[in-house]
């Protein structure tokens, strides 16, 4: 009886160790999306740090516009890879990829700050960090439904957001697949595109019902 219990416990320990090692191997080294997305206060702080450190170069003076994408990589500390838009003194806005290292003592170091070729960045649809539950995505979905109601004299109510993607242009396009409920109670699926300018002004580009 004791032998059976011991073997069972030993099996559980071995299984747990194997799962822990597998989880560690998946975590360390790979780039992962940030919980909280690009609006996370810590991500905003890191982006401002990256801009500030880069501005220490002679003749350089950028201002952060927004963070487009954020990823993290666990090393002996954490690397943060940020895709961001920054505005120069002349007013032109360009995209940059910054990598910031945060040590285990929370000390920050700018590893790289590189301008991104617009042909690579602009035009492609990308998934949203934070997913459909991201507060900004929920705000955009509510805006899309509200604007459509104004324009069409409709009375829809947002049910949920099914999918969200973004496209960097001179600002950001957001493509939202969402469910909305009519006055009669029927729920239909719509594809909405919302444009957000560099000044955070919103415009509903399209709101189209998707055929079942």
SS3 139: helix
pTM to 2 decimals? Answer: 0.48
The pLDDT tens digits along the chain (212 residues) read 555 544 454 444 333 444 333 333 334 557 788 887 888 999 999 999 999 999 998 889 999 999 988 888 898 899 999 988 899 988 888 888 899 999 999 999 998 888 875 544 455 678 887 788 888 999 999 999 999 999 999 999 999 999 998 887 777 889 999 999 999 999 999 999 999 887 888 999 999 988 65
The answer to whether residues 109 and 139 belong to one domain is: no
SS3 147: helix
Take residue 189 and report the two structure tokens written for it. 């699926």
- The Cα 96–Cα 53 span in angstroms is 14
| Residue range of the domain that includes 38 | 31-116
- The Cα 98–Cα 114 span in angstroms is 6
* HSE-up (13 A, CA, CB side) for residue 13: 6
Q: What is the CATH number of the domain that holds 134?
A: 3.10.450.10
Take residue 140 and report the two structure tokens written for it. 């955009």
**Domain finish residue from 72, 93, 116:** 116
Buried b (16+ CB within 10 A) or exposed e, 41-72: eebbebbebbbebbeeeeeeebebbbbbbbbb
Q: Are 72 and 84 in contact (CB under 8 A)?
A: no
Q: How many domains does the chain have?
A: 2
Assess if residue 60 is contained within a domain.
Answer: yes
């Amino acid at each position: 009886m004791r032998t059976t219990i011991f073997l069972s416990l030993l099996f559980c320990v071995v299984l747990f160790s194997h799962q822990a090692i597998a989880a560690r191997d998946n975590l360390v080294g790979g780039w992962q999306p940030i919980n909280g997305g690009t609006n996370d206060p810590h991500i905003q702080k890191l982006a401002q740090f990256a801009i500030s450190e880069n501005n220490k170069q002679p003749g350089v003076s950028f201002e952060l516009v927004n963070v487009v994408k954020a990823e993290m990589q666990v090393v002996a500390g954490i690397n943060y890879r940020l895709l961001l838009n920054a505005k120069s003194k002349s007013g032109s806005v360009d995209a940059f990829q910054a990598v910031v290292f945060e040590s285990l003592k929370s000390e920050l170091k700018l590893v790289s700050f590189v301008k991104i070729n617009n042909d690579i960045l602009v035009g492609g649809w990308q998934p949203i960090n934070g997913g459909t539950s991201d507060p900004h995505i929920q705000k955009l979905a509510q805006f899309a439904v509200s604007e459509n109601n104004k324009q069409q004299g409709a009375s829809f109510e947002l049910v949920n957001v099914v999918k969200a993607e973004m496209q960097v242009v001179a600002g950001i396009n957001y493509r939202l697949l969402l469910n909305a409920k009519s006055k009669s109670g029927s729920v239909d699926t719509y594809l909405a595109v919302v444009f957000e300018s560099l000044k955070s002004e919103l415009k509903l580009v399209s709101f189209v019902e998707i055929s079942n």
